[in-house]
Amino acid sequence: MAKLNLEYSWDVKDLKHKEKFVMLEDVYETDHLISVSSAPYCMSEGGRARGIEVNIQGHEHPTAGEPVIIENRKGVPYVVIWADPNQEDPTHTISLEELHI
């Protein structure tokens, strides 16, 4: 079964309201910064997240909202991406099953 390990976790009691922010520096060492936040996605009745939505400041899909979501699909992490604002469905769905150790 695949596991998705994160550097931080959310308090389950307040999961709906938790959002984590990070500033990303440019990999080419310019002065461009990007603000990225992540938050629980698709809450279950038991109060657990079924995924994580990643919001990149200034880059939102008109109908899906966050352009990147990481989901748990039967124990396999998937990265779901909406790269085309004219498309309602995701443009990329990537399974990370082969990365399981």
- In this prediction the pTM is 0.71
Task: Decide if 84 is inside a domain.
Answer: yes
Mean pLDDT of the region 4-33? 68
Question: Cα separation of 77 and 68, whole Å?
Answer: 13
CB 58 within 8 A of CB 46: no
Any domain includes 1? no
CA dihedral 85, 91, 97, 100 (to 10 degrees): -40
Higher pLDDT among residues 76 and 1, named by residue: 76
- Residue 5 within a domain: no
Per-residue pLDDT averaged across 30-40, rounded? 89
Q: Is residue 3 part of a domain?
A: no
Is the pLDDT assigned to residue 70 strictly greater than 50? yes
Residue 85 included in any domain: yes
**Domain encompassing residue 84:** 12-99
Question: In the chain, pLDDT over 70 holds for what percent of residues?
Answer: 81
Residue 2 within a domain: no
In a domain, 6, yes or no: no
Structural domain tally of the chain? 1
Contact status, residue 82 vs residue 91, Cβ threshold 8 Å: yes
Residue 73 has pLDDT above 50, yes or no: yes
